[in-house]
Amino acid sequence: MTRKKSKTPQWQDHYTRQAQKEHYPARSVYKLAEIQKKHRIIIKGDRVLDLGCAPGSWLLYAAEQAGGGGSVLGVDLTPVTIALPANVTVLTADVHDLRASAEQPLGTGYNVVLSDMAPATTGDRFGDAARSLALCETALAVADGLLLAGGRFVCKIFQGEDFKSFSEQVKARFDRMHIFKPQSSRKASREIFIIGLGKK
């Protein structure tokens, strides 16, 4: 009897198993870990804002990197159900509503703004890219308003016709801008990360 080959790619098996072993809810943590290793986005004692934080892998990793003297605030429409360390707070809300609130629940004075926000994909490359861009523009507006001088920004985006224009917007607001494709991303995926270092 011939054994059927698994349809699950080997890279996915590896990162998924590793995430389970290390008690992260999703394999996306390794994308942030690669970015951290290369660019040292999060420093001990930092205040971090994580947009699109569910299911919580980036929250856990950011909390580890910021340490007990730092703090992480996560925002997502989807509730985060995992146990979180004491230095993490989560708001289950739409970031657009929070920005518009007179109470300013997001606060200010962040060292880092992370955005792993992504639209529900439809298979329409152009439509998906446009929706991704809209989320990235929201994330950049949040970073522009809430980051301290010298702060850092990480944003996931689906590559589309407006990718270059958005990268120029990031470049205009930060001393240095980098484009990064983690090894833990699927090769066929159009997701890429734009990194801003040194908020002007």
Per-residue pLDDT at 54 exceeds 80? yes
- Residue closest to 189 by CA, chosen among 35, 46, 11: 11
Q: Kindly tell me if the per-residue pLDDT of 12 is higher than 70.
A: no
Task: For residue range 93-120, list pLDDT tens digits in order.
Answer: 999 999 888 888 999 999 999 999 988 8
pLDDT band at 9, cuts 50/70/90? Answer: low
Q: pLDDT value at position 173?
A: 98
Quick check: is 200 catalytic? no
CATH architecture type of domain 28-199: 3-Layer(aba) Sandwich (3.40)
Asked if residue 11 has pLDDT above 90, the reply is no
Question: Could you say which of 31, 38, 44, 156 is catalytic?
Answer: 156
Contact 151, 113 (CB under 8 A): yes
pTM of structure:
0.90
